[in-house]
């Protein structure tokens, strides 16, 4: 679909327009779910400059599509985060005399967006429509249809026939830009990453200096423009029907507290990571502001980013950036981490991952790009298919008739403290540490032998940083159906993993209060030292599965599946 999008864009540009742009018309920037910012936003910057050139005002449009949210298992927290940011952007756009107008598309008519939008563009006398590419299949198809409709309108002289362009913006290195020597898409991360790092380093000056132009203000008169005027008074909804936060006001308060939006927020989150000292036993525990954290004199070495090589593997430390939600919804430009790292490293090249915390952290940004690239090159992963077709319908998942095991996993009541702690952090914060994501994903798909798609869905519904590419990639990696060249017998042992990533047990004691009386690392395996009766008295549960036996069963099942595939 991505190639079709570019073809459709080319095809449109080849059909001449016989009408002159309407002088009372507007240029429309279509804000997407993943580019919710004013700075370094490729489509917005282009649209804004064009509006100035043509002397027509700019309109910012955002379409809510509950039907798409349902199809993508988008959760209320991610939507709430987006709505809060849009309310902030509404005010910021207005300062530039630009209205931010929203349309909520009927849930049952999500496929009708191209028709609806083209009619609106015609009604507004739009000169052009500009947006950043969304790489998911449904979204690409929608955008292709808009291009085709516009082309038809140009040919027939009826309907919206203006300029339509979609820009690459969501990645540092966009999907399709890196190919193997044979001209094929990379299917393995390591060689892809080497090429990615070389590419970034060879174009470093561009990334560092080349910001998309700033947002230019509409003239004052935009406020009395017949089309735009009523749009200035239009309010951003505070909820989307069917996607309300389950925990009501209480949850809304927590989300606002943990994931704030507004002026300077992404800068302060990043500064906390790049300049503050790593404190032991202080895992992700907001508030982000007003903490007694110290800035260090030599951030390159002693800050959290400086110590990222160790910090990223400790769930009891606050050792990662917590910028994922902001990157996923585009509150921060994907190119900003490169600029920050470059400035901090103070060298001509970005350091390699093995050499420093900064380099290691930048590699993670590479993972994010990699999974977008996979999504584009193998669009079947968007449609619940495994990347590795050997596992397409061949794994015999365990029977969990009443769904009790899946539910225990979701509720953080599996009897494996590290799994339970992680699942409870997800429920409470809409976030989970990366090491824990790997452990709970391996536990669901291997120990419980439950279809990884159940886990992917639950993550998507609950993570504030939910992103199809990274979430699907992470799940398929853990379930051994993805791009990971390691075979299926890599199965995380939740007990030994717990001792590595939470050596004193502080993380588990925080999230699983039933176990707070247990000292040191004994908290990771209560069943080893306590009777079933005692565990129940503490209010905790016995392990729902025997890891050693489950491991053997999972290996057998995957082996058979692989032979069948
Ligand atoms: P840092 O360690 O500070 O990393 C910086 C940034 O790099 C992150 O914000 C993120 O944008 C990117 N990144 C880091 N690790 C990865 C990775 N493994 N894959 C892709 N990008 C990465 N990340 C999401 O953004 N959305 C998801 O829906 C998501 N689902 C996941 C599901 C599973 C099963 C797994 C194993 C991982 C998933 N990740 C996802 C990746 C990763 O866990 C989070 O990006 C990370 O924990 C966010 O915390 P941070 O911002 O502090 O990360």
**What is the DSSP track for 515-543?**
GTTS-GGGGG-HHHHS-HHHHHHTT----
Q: What is the pLDDT of residue 355?
A: 76
Which residue owns the Cα nearest ligand 1 atom 35? 474
Atom nearest to 365 CA in ligand 1: 7
For residue 149, whether the previous peptide bond is cis, meaning omega lies within 30 degrees of 0, is no
Atom nearest to 455 CA in ligand 1: 34
CB-ligand 1 contact for 459 (6 Å cutoff): yes
Active site residue 452: yes
**Of the residues 192, 367, 378, 409, which is catalytic?**
367
Binding-site positions read: 308, 320-324, 361, 364-371, 465-467
The lowest-confidence range among 133-147, 263-277, 292-306, 335-349 is: 292-306
CB-ligand 1 contact for 77 (6 Å cutoff): no
Binding-site positions for FAD read: 308, 320-324, 361, 364-371, 465-467
**Of the residues 364, 390, 493, 514, which is catalytic?**
364
Q: What angle do CA 553, 443, 485 make, to 5 degrees?
A: 80
CB-ligand 1 contact for 192 (6 Å cutoff): no
Q: What is the pLDDT of residue 19?
A: 64
Dist. CA 43 → ligand 1 center (Å): 25
| Counts of helices then strands in the chain (DSSP H, E) | 26, 5
Residues 340-347: what's their mean pLDDT?
91
Question: Is the pLDDT at 409 greater than 80, yes or no?
Answer: yes
What is the number of alpha carbons within 13 Å of residue 440 lying toward its C-beta? 32
In 3D space, the residue among 505, 530, 531 whose CA is nearest the CA of residue 519 turns out to be 505
CB-ligand 1 contact for 441 (6 Å cutoff): yes
Give Dmax (Cα) for the chain.
83
Q: Can you say how many angstroms the Cα of residue 544 is from the centroid of all Cα atoms in its chain? A: 31
CB-ligand 1 contact for 86 (6 Å cutoff): no
CB-ligand 1 contact for 464 (6 Å cutoff): no
Dist. CA 209 → ligand 1 center (Å): 26
In 3D space, the residue among 463, 467, 470, 469 whose CA is nearest the CA of residue 77 turns out to be 463
Residues 107-132: what's their mean pLDDT?
96
For 454-467, write each residue's pLDDT tens digit: 999 999 999 999 99
Q: What is the pLDDT of residue 259?
A: 94
pTM assigned to the model = 0.96
pLDDT confidence bin for 146, thresholds 50/70/90: very high
CA–CA separation, 60 and 89 (whole Å): 10
Output Rg (C-alpha) for the chain, integer angstroms. Answer: 25
**Of the residues 22, 313, 390, 434, which is catalytic?**
434
For 230-251, write each residue's pLDDT tens digit: 999 999 999 999 999 999 999 9
CA–CA separation, 72 and 136 (whole Å): 10
Q: What is the pLDDT of residue 421?
A: 97
């Amino acid at each position: 679909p991505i190639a079709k999008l570019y073809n459709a864009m080319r095809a449109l540009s080849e059909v001449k327009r016989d009408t002159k742009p309407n002088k009372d018309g507007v240029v429309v920037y279509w804000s997407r779910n993943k580019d919710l910012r004013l700075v370094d936003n490729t489509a917005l910057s282009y649209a804004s400059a064009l509006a100035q050139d043509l002397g027509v005002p700019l309109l910012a449009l955002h379409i809510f599509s509950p039907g798409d949210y349902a199809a993508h298992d988008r959760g209320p927290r991610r939507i709430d985060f987006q709505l809060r940011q849009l309310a902030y952007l509404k005010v910021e756009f207005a300062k530039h005399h630009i209205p931010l107008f929203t349309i909520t598309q009927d849930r049952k008519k999500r496929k009708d967006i191209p028709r609806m939008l083209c009619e609106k563009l015609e009604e507004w006398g739009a000169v052009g429509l500009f947006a950043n590419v969304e790489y998911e299949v449904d979204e690409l198809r929608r955008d292709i249809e808009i291009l085709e409709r516009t082309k038809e309108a140009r040919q027939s002289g009826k309907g919206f026939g203006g300029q339509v362009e979609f820009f690459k913006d969501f990645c540092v290195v966009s999907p399709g830009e890196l190919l193997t020597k044979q001209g094929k898409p990379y299917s393995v991360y390591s060689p892809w990453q080497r090429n990615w790092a070389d590419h970034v380093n060879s174009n470093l000056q561009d990334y560092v200096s080349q910001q998309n132009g700033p947002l230019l203000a509409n003239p004052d008169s935009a406020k009395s423009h017949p089309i735009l005027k009523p749009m200035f008074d239009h309010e951003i909804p505070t909820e989307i029907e069917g996607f309300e936060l389950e925990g009501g006001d209480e949850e809304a308060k927590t989300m606002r507290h943990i994931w704030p939006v507004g002026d300077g927020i992404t800068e302060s989150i990043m500064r906390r990571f790049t300049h503050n000292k790593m404190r032991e036993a202080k895992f992700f525990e907001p508030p982000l502001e007003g903490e007694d954290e110290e800035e260090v004199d030599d951030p390159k070495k002693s800050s959290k980013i400086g110590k990222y090589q160790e910090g990223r593997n400790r769930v009891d430390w606050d050792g990662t950036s917590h910028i994922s939600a902001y990157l996923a919804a585009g509150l921060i430009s994907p190119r900003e981490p490169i600029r920050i790292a470059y400035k901090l490293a103070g060298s001509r090249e970005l350091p390699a991952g093995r050499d420093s915390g900064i380099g290691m952290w930048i590699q993670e940004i590479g993972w994010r790009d990699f999974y977008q690239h996979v999504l584009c090159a193998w669009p079947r992963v968007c449609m619940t298919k495994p990347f590795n077709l050997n596992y397409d319908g061949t794994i015999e998942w365990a029977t969990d008739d009443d769904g009790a095991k899946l539910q225990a996993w979701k509720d953080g009541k599996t009897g494996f403290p590290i799994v339970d702690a992680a699942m409870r952090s997800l429920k409470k914060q809409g976030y989970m540490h990366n090491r824990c994501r790997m452990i709970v994903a391996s536990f669901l798909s291997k120990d419980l032998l439950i279809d990884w798609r159940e886990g992917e869905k639950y993550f998507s519904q609950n993570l504030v940083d939910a992103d199809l590419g990274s979430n699907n990639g992470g799940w398929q990696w853990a379930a051994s159906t993805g791009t990971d060249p390691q075979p299926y017998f890599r199965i995380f042992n939740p007990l030994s993993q717990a001792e590595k990533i939470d050596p004193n047990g502080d993380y588990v004691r925080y999230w699983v209060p039933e176990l707070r009386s247990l000292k040191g690392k004994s908290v990771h395996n209560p069943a080893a030292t306590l009777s079933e009766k005692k565990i129940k008295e503490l209010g905790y549960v016995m392990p729902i599965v025997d890891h050693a036996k489950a491991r053997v069963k999972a290996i057998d099942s995957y082996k058979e599946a692989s032979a069948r595939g």
